[in-house]
Structure 1
Amino acid sequence: MPTRTLPLLRWSPKAVVFDCDGTLMDTERHWQEARNRAFKAFGLRPPHGFAQRAKGVHYADCGRLMAEETQKPELATGLTRALLEHFLALVADEPLTMPGAVEFVRLLSGRLPLAVASNCPAEVVEESLAWAGLRRHFQHVVVPSGTGGRTADADPATRQRPGDLRPKPWPDVYATAARLCGVRPEDALAVEDSLTGVESARRAGLRVVGVGPRPAEEEAGRAELWVSTLHAPELLAWAREWQAGPALP
């Protein structure tokens, strides 16, 4: 294990904020298929390497990127709408969790405040987590404004107001999730699979564990620890040592 990870492994977070797509839910392949279907619907071919560039990007920004890279800027609105419609249909048919996600969330549930910070529309996050049996473990779900943005609080007064939160890589969703969990950003841990999300969490002041295929070393170094899955032995051993965070409601 690289020595640079040791300071992180001696630290206990007071809250944990998870990304959803590709971290908790195996939906990245649905986004990829939705992009392919949207391109096809408009008679377009996906540009080379587009899937990697689109990973972790807010779907509205992705629709604009699809239009720009195919030199069809006038199709941005239609591509964005088609992308979301195809994705919702795919994820409803086949909701899957990432390896180790259920076990890791259950290990932490009730011990620390847990939240989700996602670039996806709120209904996608809520329904995906519910289908997977995970929704009840999270006190808050935070998404960018303009995507059904809200938290999971029951009091409507605590919900996000229009224009409040920008998507990743802006820090807004992670900063808000930490605040709602009742901790300072520097006391919260982010769990992310995309470099876009890692950047968002770092800019918000959270410490970051990356999960999934390890990127190039320079990019992987933006997270303080990178594990292949959420049931990585070093991650589980570390998590079992964490002290309880703020009192849960």
Structure 2
Amino acid sequence: MTTTAQLLDWSPRAVVFDCDGTLMDSERHWQEARNLAFREFGLQPPPGFAEQAKGVHYADCGRLMAESVHKPELTDGLTAALLDHFLELVTDDPVTMPGAAHLVRLLAGRMPLAVASNCPMVVVEGSLERAGLRGYFQHIVVPDSGDAEVRPKPWPDVYALAARLCGVPPEEALAVEDSLTGVESARTAGLRVLGVGPRPPGDGAERADLWLPSLHTPELLTWAEAN
């Protein structure tokens, strides 16, 4: 893995952020929405399901939910319930992750910024708008953006398109991610990857160039001020 000094001695030409759990503190909303959707159908989430579902596109998550309780016939119903509950929760309580707003404002104007998310466009734009951050991002790329070829993470499509829209080769862009699903997507697209938040168990985090505990880590803010 790249050391802190190695990655933070490098200057990208664009930065692409994940949204859920990276910019916005909405992963907890997804977890609660999953619990509510299971409960709506009289089911209980299996042990460890929260970690398995982290960063997964909501449609794939609905399928995983149904498969995890051995009821594939409930895929459509669980998917719809999951999205409905999440939209209600995130609308009532949009909160940024610690350090996210400050980091975005430090980088804005210095290089193009984009968001690559597995969430629906209405969720991403609405969350960033309510947080006062929407205007800092030139591009938002999500699987439901109208392009049938843009597949959700862990496919590389959202990151590859985000870098292209920013006008830079993937290897000259930095992805900022909190989930192994997103890290895999960005790495496969060719971006360098900064992981943030609690380090996931296992060796999947080794796919990131660097993992830091939060966006307000002092060395990260010093790096942002210098770029």
SS of equivalent to 2:3: helix
| Cα deviation digits, residues 186-219 of structure 1 (max 9, x gap) | 0000000000000000000000000001224622
CA 1:3–1:77: 2 relative to 1, 3 Å: closer
**Counterpart in 1 of 2:152?**
167
**Counterpart in 2 of 1:155?**
none
**Counterpart in 2 of 1:8?**
7
Aligned counterparts of 1:95 and 1:203: Cα–Cα separation in 2? 30
Letter in 2 for 1:120: C
Q: What does 1:54-203 correspond to in 2, within 5 Å?
A: 54-144=53-143, 147=144, 149=145, 160-161=146-147, 163-203=148-188
Alpha-carbon distance, 1:237 to partner? 1.4
Alpha-carbon distance, 1:3 to partner? 6.6
SS of equivalent to 1:221: helix
Give the fraction of aligned pairs with identical amino acids, expressed as a percent: 72
Letter in 2 for 1:28: E
* Corresponding position: 1:33 with 2:13: no
Which sections of structure 1, spanning at least 5 residues, go unmatched? 150-159, 243-249
2:2 touches 2:209 (CA, 8 Å); kept in 1? no
Letter in 1 for 2:166: C
Q: Which is further off, 229-238 or 179-188?
A: 229-238
2:2 touches 2:210 (CA, 8 Å); kept in 1? no
1:234 to 216, 219, 224: 219
CA 1:134–1:39: 2 relative to 1, 3 Å: same
* Corresponding position: 1:207 with 2:206: no
Which sections of structure 2, spanning at least 5 residues, go unmatched? none
Letter in 2 for 1:9: L
**TM-score w.r.t. length of structure 2:** 0.97
**TM-score w.r.t. length of structure 1:** 0.89
Number of residue pairs aligned between Structure 1 and Structure 2? 227
